[in-house]
């Protein structure tokens, strides 16, 4: 009985199905509409605050471009018929 159980367990462990991973295309989000800011609206800001604001916007833009590049790089390896 023990031998039969061992044989059944051994035989069934060889019959596991192959795992196949399919790449999924990542969708790019739509670019948001960014309203323009007039110079008069920023006149009340100190130079340090304005510089911090500009640096923040630049970092945010660089981050968004990097995210889009990652999505594009991921989608490069996906066959066209899988999309």
What does the block give as tokens for 53? 């604001």
Measure the CA–CA gap between 56 and 66, rounded to whole angstroms.
15
Residue range 3-33, pLDDT digits in tens: 877 777 776 666 667 788 777 888 888 988 8
pLDDT of the residue at 52:
95
Please, are residues 25 and 83 in contact by the beta-carbon 8 Å criterion?
yes
Dihedral of the CA atoms 71, 77, 79, 80 (nearest 10)?
A: 40
Please, are residues 78 and 25 in contact by the beta-carbon 8 Å criterion?
yes
Residue range 35-66, pLDDT digits in tens: 998 989 999 999 999 999 999 999 999 999 99
Asked whether residue 75 carries a pLDDT value surpassing 90, the answer given is: no
pLDDT of the residue at 1:
78
pLDDT of the residue at 20:
80
């Amino acid at each position: 009985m023990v031998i039969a159980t061992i044989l059944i367990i051994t035989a069934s462990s060889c019959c596991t199905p192959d795992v196949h991973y399919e790449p999924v295309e990542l969708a790019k989000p739509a670019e948001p509409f960014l309203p323009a800011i007039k110079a008069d609206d920023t006149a009340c800001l100190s130079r340090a605050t304005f510089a911090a604001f500009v640096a923040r916007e630049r970092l945010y833009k660089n981050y968004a471009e990097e995210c889009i590049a990652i999505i594009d790089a991921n989608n490069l390896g996906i066959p066209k018929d899988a999309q």
